[in-house]
Amino acid sequence: MPKVRKDINSLTDAELDDYIHALDILRQRSEVDEEDPTGYAFQAALHNGSAGPPPIACEHGSDLFLPWHRAHLHYFEELLRAADPPRTQNVTIPYWDWISEQTPEKFPLAFKKPGLKSPRNSTPTPLPPNTLEIVTTETNQKEFAGYPDGDPFGDAGRLESGPHDTMHSFYIGGKMGNPSTAAEDAIYFSFHCFIDLMWAEWQHRNGTPPLTSPDHALRGFTTQPKNKVSDFTEIADLDYEYEYTEQLKAAFAVPVPPPAPLNLLATQPITPLGDADLVTELQDNELVRLGFTVPETRGERLLVRLDELKVPNTGSYMLRGFVHPSDAPFQPDDSEFTRRFGAGYVTLWRAHPHMHADHDHDHENDHDGPPVAHHPVSRTARFDVTRAVDSHGAAGADLVFSLQFIPAPSETGLPPHPVPPLDEVELKDVRMEVYI
């Protein structure tokens, strides 16, 4: 029988107590020996990094993001189950369904219990608006899950660069707001368990397409029996499944759209309407307006692409995109304006402080080929403007793409201090891409 991962709100009192008991045993091992690989601190450090063993191993900003975190959950769950059998032998990591508003609290009440409690951003915060849409309507694997290292067309997938990074830096905060402390908060495992559920659901809906980097070894797990991306393709092969709530069953009960391949047809530049260059305009006003002419050949999909967008070191931020006529007043806080002209968002989660500028990484030859960054120092941001352009501009019409800068709050939810990371905004260029 496969192990069953349940919604944390669906656990019985005994199931929740057994989960916390297993966590506490792993924490006690770390108190005795911080470098014990079966202890909580070591397992958290696989993601967070540390001064000693283990070396930072987590993967972000590529197609390795989802398989690496699936592996992290898998091996952590094995440790939980072996912590104190027979009491813990059936423990699984509970998922936190964060696409649904929590009532009456921002977080499930279980995260107030000793063993799961941690300081977090308690300020009311909107959930990422398009998480469900990404899972149910995006059919392109690279756009959903991420691009292979070095792919010229992109890096992080939509699930990571949108909802994942936003939840870490804007919604949850606390230790989760910083990649060097994220896994110290036990909510990390339930949060990523739901990321894994959404990936499994997407795979099911789209026929489990072959992964794009199946032979890559996964850092941190090279001594384990399963250690390559291909080993973490199917959750059935890992002997677990998810128990959906009625709410989730309803959310995912929508038709699967036909596949939408991305074949680049043409590109065209889009330029700032002001006198200053794009970066200066954004830094001075936290907003930049770029003009473009709707392409004569529309294709199936229109994307605005920002190249080599620097990942900030001092704090996280979001860029919101809007496509609108030049005479439309810019009102990003107005729900009707956002509904009519919104073109998505990208969040830049702050850089990992344990990353080295030279990206040196030579331990254990964990990857085939040259070493690559765990957290890239720059990202490609893409905004799908197809719907907005179709609604507001015929071929040849002049429209405006507005890009709004929003700094993430402090880890407690207060305004960022001392200053937003505006001076870290850097990018190479912006252009429109037409796909068929």
pLDDT per residue over 191-233, tens digit each?
A: 999 999 999 999 999 999 999 999 999 999 999 999 999 999 9
pLDDT at 57 over 90: no
Q: Look at 306 and 396; give whichever has higher pLDDT.
A: 306
pLDDT at 284: 87
Percent of the chain as helix, strand, coil, to the nearest 5: 35, 15, 50
pLDDT higher than threshold 70 for residue 419: no
Model confidence at 183: pLDDT above 90:
yes
pLDDT of residue 202: 98
pLDDT of residue 365: 39
CA distances from 243 to 123, 291, 426 (A): 30, 48, 43
Residues 139-161 have a mean pLDDT of 93
The domain defined by 264-358+372-435 folds into: Jelly Rolls (2.60.120)
Q: Which residue is associated with the tokens 């120092």?
A: 377
Q: pLDDT of 1-19, one tens digit each?
A: 899 999 999 999 999 999 9
At 52, the pLDDT band (50, 70, 90 cuts) reads low
pLDDT of 351-374, one tens digit each? 877 554 434 444 343 434 333 446
User: Quick one: pLDDT band at residue 153, thresholds 50, 70, 90?
Assistant: confident
- Give Cβ neighbours of residue 354 (< 8 Å, ≥ 6 apart): 48, 49, 50, 56, 180
Q: Which residue has the higher pLDDT, 432 or 103?
A: 432
**Is there a common fold for 3-252 and 264-358+372-435?**
no
Locate the domains of the chain by residue range: 3-252, 264-358+372-435
- Looking at domain 3-252, its CATH superfamily turns out to be Di-copper center containing domain from catechol oxidase (1.10.1280.10)
Distance CA 22, CA 81 (A): 7
Are 432 and 270 a contacting pair, CB within 8 Å?
yes
Q: What is the reported pTM?
A: 0.93
Percent of the chain whose pLDDT exceeds 90: 67
pLDDT number for residue 104: 79
Which pLDDT band holds residue 418 (cuts at 50, 70, 90)? low
pLDDT of residue 87: 98
